């Protein structure tokens, strides 16, 4: 069986760099003066809409008022008004719970700290290992010291084993955790602990409901019987078996699409599947030429890979962005 590795990245940090690199420098395009800002602020919503329509119809350079350019100008204006620049979001997709992946995640978190990452997305949609010890060590990086993460209860043996954080966390910012039906075993315990102690928001679909410890019993026939002998009890005292962990924000994504996105993102990166590029629109030039750019782009996108979109990760980014705007005010 192929071992799943950890995937890390910076979402909006990379996007911001690309956008700013393509934006004309201040020497080529002067920024609006204070008087211009005062005038814009004085406009009523209807006047703003009217002004934009007039510019689109009459401005000497139509290319400067395409949707992509308007969106870019809007982003620049928002970043200026928020006085905070781009939001930097770190992304960690945890595959198998192994010591190698734990060390890779530790290094990624150190890099995120140096890059002043504001928020973190922890993707547990590919985590189905059965090592509760490494799961606990991973969770400790995000939970306050002294907190009980979860307990492993063995009813037949009349014993509980508590997993407690004995170290200071590495990351203490905003956290979003992505889960679905392939989040199972120790990963479900991680999600419950991060929600309870890390104040993380869970996004996606309900987990597998297999937060248990198994033991194998050989049969006389030579077959092996695997039995769940211990169940995970979350920080709130509730068992995670067989109900699993439910998301705070349910978001649908077909498993086949998710697996395809995960495979392709190893080569393409993450942003391809989160942020959509500008789509051509039917306009006066197309009418004169007798073409339809909207139809053309649909014909070009017959390849299913062109339509892949990670709605779960997109929702996490949207929530983080909304929280950042709210906190600025």
Q: What are the pLDDT digits (tens) for 217-231?
A: 999 999 999 999 999
Helix count and strand count (H, E) for the chain: 11, 10
Chain mean pLDDT for the chain:
80
Please give the pLDDT value at position 232.
96
3-state SS track over 113-177: HHCCCCEEEEECCCCCCCCHHHHHHHHCCCCCCCCEEEEEEECCCCEEEEEECCCCCCCCCEEEE
Annotated domain spans of the chain: 1-22+47-274+309-329
**More reliable by pLDDT, 297 or 323:** 323
Grade residue 254 by pLDDT with cuts at 50, 70 and 90. Answer: very high
Please give the pLDDT value at position 25.
33
The reply to whether the predicted model has a pTM over 0.75 is no
CATH superfamily of 1-22+47-274+309-329: 2-enoyl-CoA Hydratase; Chain A, domain 1 (3.90.226.10)
Residue 195 phi, psi (nearest 5)? -70, -45
- Coil, helix or strand at residue 41: helix
């Amino acid at each position: 069986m192929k071992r799943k590795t950890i995937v890390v990245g910076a979402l909006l940090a990379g996007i911001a760099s690309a956008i700013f690199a393509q934006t004309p420098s201040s020497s080529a395009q002067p920024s609006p003066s204070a008087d211009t800002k005062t005038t814009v602020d004085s406009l009523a919503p209807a006047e703003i809409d009217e002004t934009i329509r007039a510019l689109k119809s009459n401005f000497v350079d139509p290319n400067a008022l395409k949707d992509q350019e308007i969106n870019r100008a809007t982003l620049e204006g928002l970043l200026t008004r928020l006085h905070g620049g781009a939001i930097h979001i770190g992304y960690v997709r945890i595959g198998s719970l192994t010591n190698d992946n734990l060390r890779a995640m530790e290094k990624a978190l150190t890099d995120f700290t140096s890059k002043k990452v504001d928020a973190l997305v922890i993707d547990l949609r590919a985590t189905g290992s059965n090592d509760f010890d490494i799961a606990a060590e991973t969770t400790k990086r995000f939970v306050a010291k002294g907190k009980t993460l979860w307990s492993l209860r063995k009813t037949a043996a009349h014993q509980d084993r508590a997993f407690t954080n004995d170290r200071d966390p590495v990351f203490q910012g905003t956290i979003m955790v992505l889960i679905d039906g392939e989040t199972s075993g120790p990963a479900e315990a991680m999600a419950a602990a991060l929600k309870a102690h890390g104040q993380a928001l869970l996004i996606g679909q309900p987990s597998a409901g297999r937060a248990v410890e198994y033991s194998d019993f050989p049969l006389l026939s030579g077959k092996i019987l695997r039995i769940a002998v211990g169940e995970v009890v979350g920080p709130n005292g509730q068992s995670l078996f067989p109900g699993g962990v439910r998301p705070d924000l349910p978001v649908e994504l077909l498993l086949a699409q998710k697996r395809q996105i995960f495979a392709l993102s190893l080569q393409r990166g993450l942003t391809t599947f989160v942020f959509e590029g500008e789509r051509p629109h039917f306009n006066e030039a197309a009418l004169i030429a007798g073409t339809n750019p909207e139809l053309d782009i649909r014909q070009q996108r017959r390849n299913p890979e062109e339509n892949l979109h990670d709605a779960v990760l997109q929702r996490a980014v949207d929530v983080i962005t909304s929280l950042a705007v709210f906190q600025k005010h």
